[in-house]
A and B are shown apart, each in its own frame.
Chain A
Amino acid sequence: MGTSETPISREAVQAKVLEVVKPFVKDTALLETITDKTDLINDLKVNSARFIDILLDLEDAFKIQINDKEADSMLTIGDAIRIIMSKQVNN
């Protein structure tokens, strides 16, 4: 299980998550109303293949590994932040 090298703030994690997700959202207007509860697939209309790309890009961006169980629970932007933050805490 990989962990990031330097813990960063929740705000910084959130900003970076949005940066990763942005290229996969076709309707950019949807990005303006993002909250922690925004669902990647249902609200941002990210398809399943692009969801895998987001997982891989998050792993690269935060230098972590996201396992299947974590990916299974990553439905929303808030979930993604929570999973990444938990790896910061574990560092």
Chain B
Amino acid sequence: MVFGITLGNDIVDMNDARNHSRHADTRFVNKIFTKTEQQQISASDMPDYMVWVLWAAKESAYKIINKRTGKRSYAPFLLEVEMKDVMIAPYLQKESKNIENKDRLDKRRILEGIVSAPDFKIHVQILVTPRFIYCTGCSDISSIKKIEWGIENNSFVSDNDQSLLIRRSAEKHIARSVGKNIEDIRITRDIVEEKPGPPLVYINNEKSKAIDLTLTHDGPYSAYAFIKQQSNFPK
């Protein structure tokens, strides 16, 4: 189980035809979204994208809850997303091949919202491009701007290679962020009850409680996000 500031993220490949027009798929919408969420979809200028904005927010929140409870669960109505704005077009940003750390992004055009869980709230920030939707969620609103993240588009490689590539990029970014060599950083997953647990960061072969990391991938897109837990981070 993970405590402190906890992150979750999710990326949705909007090139995938199976993700198109799902706002009109009543069974899909009723299976996942609360009435309030369905109203946000109906009120949106881009309902096709709003479905996946809400989905990515829920998925990010799930990851946080799963890290905290140690259990995988399916309970879509336990969580409710409320976006600050239901208009998508004003937030639509251009996609570049790889994006790291919001460098090339217009920060005014990041969608924000809150996911309400029974015991706490999760804050989400969402980047929408024509080809993908990327969400990072954080258990602490005052820390949301401190999240460091990157997105990559690795077409024509296997899922395993994509996973290696995004972990390598995250290791490089973490190394830079904490002033270490990349050889000192390793990302791996513990096996919990015969299943892989959340990704963990090892620094000099020691499991680090100082960094919370989350990974996601869909289609050719993969992404990471991490945050330094200031109270745990060695000076």
Contacts and interface: CB of A to CB of B under 8 A. Distances in A.
Asked whether A and B interact, the reply is yes
Interface in A13-49: 26-27, 39, 41-42, 45, 47-49
A48 B19 CA distance: 12
Nearest to B195: A42
Contacts of A72: 73-75
A74 B73 CA distance: 10
A56 B74 contact: no
A71 B74 contact: yes
Interface in A34-76: 39, 41-42, 45, 47-53, 55-56, 68, 71-72, 74-75
Interface of A: prevailing SS: helix
Nearest to A72: B74
A56 B27 contact: yes
B76 interface: yes
Given A39-B195, A53-B18, A48 B59 contact: yes
Interface in B136-171: 158-159
A2 to B, nearest CB: 13
Contacts, number: 37
A57 to B, nearest CB: 11
B134 interface: no
Contacts of A56: 27-28, 31
Nearest to B55: A49
A25 to B, nearest CB: 11
B196 interface: yes
B133 to A, nearest CB: 11
Contacts of B62: 48
Interface string B175-212: 00000000000000000000110000000000000000
Interface of A: 26-27, 39, 41-42, 45, 47-53, 55-56, 68, 71-72, 74-75
16 contacts: A39-B195, A41-B72, A45-B159, A48-B62, A49-B18, A49-B55, A51-B74, A53-B18, A53-B28, A56-B27, A56-B31, A68-B75, A71-B74, A72-B74, A72-B75, A75-B72
The 7 A-B pairs of least Cβ separation, nearest first, read A72-B74, A71-B74, A42-B195, A72-B73, A56-B27, A48-B59, A52-B31
